[in-house]
Amino acid sequence: MKNINKKKNIKKSNKKKTNKKANAKIIVESCTKNTKHKKPKPNAIIYMKYDCPYCKQAYKTLVKEFGKSNVYERYLESKEIIPTRLGLKSKYKNTEGKTVPFIIINNRKFIGSNDELQRIYSK
């Protein structure tokens, strides 16, 4: 009689373990289905040239303000500067100019030079 009861208890405890695992699996699947795993957008995008001291200063200011992981840098050749600015004209105001760096903050604000950036963030 005791052996039969032990077997029943073992079967019941095995069912509880499998139910816990199944429930955990369902929770994990529902969490992953509901969330879209996208790369987070940076707080600042800086368009710059390799040999530009103003670009380096602007980059340092942005890293200080937002953190390195939240600043995306894009290096341009001289011939790419004007077409890139013109491409941004439809979304942002005041994109005229021929200089680098130019910066986009929080995907909303366009800053056209290092001087302008320093005025904003030196306060």
pLDDT value at position 92? 83
Q: Is the pLDDT reported for residue 30 higher than 60?
A: no
CATH of the domain at 89: 3.40.30.10
Looking only at the bridges linking them, the beta strands covering 102-105 and 71-75 are unpaired
Model's pTM, two decimal places?
0.64
User: What residue spans of the chain are helical by DSSP H?
Assistant: 2-34, 53-66, 81-88, 114-121
Number of domains in the chain: 2
Tell me the CA distances in angstroms from 71 to 36, 44, 66, one per residue in order: 22, 5, 7
Residue with tokens 């795993």: 37
Q: Is residue 107 very low, low, confident or very high in pLDDT (cuts 50, 70, 90)? A: confident
- Average pLDDT of the residues in 67-82: 91
Residues 16 and 71 occupy one common structural domain? no
Q: What is the pLDDT of residues 76-91, one digit of tens each?
A: 998 888 888 888 888 8
Residues 103 and 48 occupy one common structural domain? yes
